[in-house]
Copies of this chain bind each other. A is one copy, B any other.
Amino acid sequence: MGELRWHPLLGQWVVVASHRQERTYKPPAEFCPLCPTRDPAHPTEIPDEDWDIAVFENRFPSFVETPPPPQVAGTALSPVAPAQGICEVVVYSPDHDRTLAEQSVEHIRKLVEVWAHRYEELGRRPFVRYVMIFENRGEAVGVTLHHPHGQIYAFPFVPPIPQQELAHAREHHERTGRCLLCDVLAEERAAAAASAPGGDRRPGRIVVENDDFVVFVPFFARFPYETMLLPRRHVGSLLELGDAERWHLAEALKGILARYDALFGLRMPYMMVMHQAPMDRPVGGYPECHFHIEFLPIQRAPSKLKYLAGSESGAGTFITDATPEEMARQLRRAGERLGGVGGVAR
């Protein structure tokens, strides 16, 4: 039902998954496959009512554990490979309407545990090279099931974007002996400290911070209101976080997600993408890798979306319509209206 095909011009795998064309598409709420089964005549994906967070294999997966052999022969320029991997769905709660931002910190803390467990568990499979935990949120991002949920893709290769990030981090590490993202964070903190006080009481691009995490609009943001969530401590994945850090991660997550929804008074469409170390070495085996979560919203104004058109999709160059400094200022204002949930920039 699919295979990987090599793109010889771009040097990357493309996943052909033709069975996904027929995936469940925006069913009405009463037929939601992600709600708990309440009536045995209408079974859902989750045959139980008593749970906090549910994880199961995607019924329309891009990768499967035992894929059929490729349906086509590869060529000299374009080899093919089985689409071996695992795709999971993470249903955030039984509540069909409650988004991640609206969950309690206690609930998000449980989700952090689930993520760490799945990252470790999936990463242990010998055919898995990279585990990506992510969420597509909102119809504008292409969500076809409205019940709040995230996804996990266990890839049989390190995908291009994490691969590029790791390559640049490795180069920096070899050259300086330091972690690239530790240095980015130091620059962000210096920029915040150095800004002249004035109209804006909390300067710089930092939006949320607590004892263990900082969320900021990167100086080099590509998406509108893009933020990056970083642990202050240099760790490669969720697995290296202690109990207090996991609580602070839950708090910082709620902090930034609540600001997104408050920014325009609408549920912000975004992609949330977790970057952790590849899984082919033991914990700590990628010293250049600094765990982080990227939030990539696509709403550039209350009634305008950002599209990835010719420049972005055709050339690979992103154009932003606002400065990162202005984006951060607006997100901080939204945070003030919320009473500083999750921690304010210090």
Contacts and interface: CB of A to CB of B under 8 A. Distances in A.
Interface of A: 5-18, 20-21, 25, 62, 71-72, 75-78, 132, 134-136, 141-143, 151, 153, 155, 159-165, 167-169, 172, 180-181, 183-184, 187, 191, 218-222, 271, 273, 294, 296, 300-301, 304-311, 313-326
**Max count, chain B CB within 10 A of own CB: residue among A16, A163, A316:** A16
A20 B319 contact: yes
A271 B309 contact: yes
16 contacts: A8-B184, A10-B168, A11-B164, A14-B320, A17-B319, A25-B304, A62-B319, A77-B180, A77-B184, A78-B219, A134-B315, A141-B309, A142-B306, A142-B309, A153-B315, A160-B316
A77 to B, nearest CB: 6
A8 B273 contact: no
Given A75-B187, A271-B309, A315 B7 contact: no
A14 B315 contact: no
Nearest to A73: B191
Contacts of A76: 183, 187
A9 B164 contact: yes
Given A165-B9, A183-B77, A314 B301 contact: no
